[in-house]
Amino acid sequence: MDKYEVFKEKINALININLNYYKEKQMKRRITSLMNRNGFEDFDKYFLALKSDKSMLNQFINYLTINVSEFYRNPSQWQVLEKDILTELIDNSKRPLKIWSSACSTGEEPYSLAMLLTKFYDLKEIKVLASDIDEEAIEKAKVGLYTEKSLDDLPIEFKDKYFEKVQDSYLIKDEIKSQVEFQKIDLLKDRFPQNLDLIVCRNVIIYFTDEAKELLYKKFHQSLNKDGILFVGSTEQIILPERYNFRSVKTFFYKKIN
């Protein structure tokens, strides 16, 4: 086994972070660069330094830690989702809901959804599909390592129950990770999953042209079950949603019209 493979195993044992979730070539190059900047040319010696030097270990973890989005972004909207939207969807469904986080970035949104669903279902019944066009973001989401700041708006009971503190960062536990399935999906080109009860597409539509938005709304409509809900971002309210066979049920929440 080469030294980098041994290094990955030792890191996993030390801080419970699995580097196999990252693209091998890119991650090895980045870690080698960081290692060299710290004056090491050998993975074995670098690992011993990480093990004995807390500040160097923090530097290493911060290098892997992502802070692109936040958990429970716009908390008041998550309260509406919990109290109004999910309760109605669950009341009208005879099976666990099918939910898609369609531009999941580095995983904060789908993991927030999975945690929220624990208020309604047993963990084993929860499945959230998460997708993004950025494969590197998906890889980081699978690792599930986040800064403390990105957890600021997350309910404290979720932070306490579903995260493990790793130095100055937070690693999401496998029991939540295993309920989220990640895929690469290009919203403009690829086929969408079908028979969904809730689609979350926040803070991405704003970057598209009107023509692209129209295409997306049509595809979202086709993907939703009868009375399914589309949840959009704070700057993405749909003007005249009836044009796309949606009607507004709450601010930022649109129900499919059949």
**How does pLDDT run across 222-257, given as a tens digit for each residue?**
999 999 999 999 889 999 999 999 999 999 999 999
Q: What is the mean pLDDT of residues 144-153?
A: 94
Q: Is 112 exposed, middle or buried (0-12, 13-18, 19+ CB in 10 A)?
A: buried
Encoded tokens for 124: 């084993």
Out of 58-62, 133-137, 188-192, give the one with best mean pLDDT: 188-192
Q: Is the pLDDT of residue 209 over 90?
A: no
Q: What is the mean pLDDT of residues 105-133?
A: 96
Residue 81 CB neighbour total at 10 angstroms = 23
Model pLDDT, residue 220:
98
Q: Which residue has the higher pLDDT, 21 or 48?
A: 48
Q: What is the mean pLDDT of residues 201-219?
A: 89
Model pLDDT, residue 235:
87
Model pLDDT, residue 23:
67
Domain with CATH 3.40.50.150 in the chain: 75-256
Nearest to 258, CA basis, from 245, 243, 249, 247: 245
Which residue type is seen at 222?
Q
Nearest to 216, CA basis, from 227, 69, 233: 233
**Residue 5, SS3 per DSSP:** helix
CATH architecture of 75-256: 3-Layer(aba) Sandwich (3.40)
Q: What is the mean pLDDT of residues 109-124?
A: 97
When pLDDT is cut at 50, 70 and 90, the band that residue 112 belongs to is very high
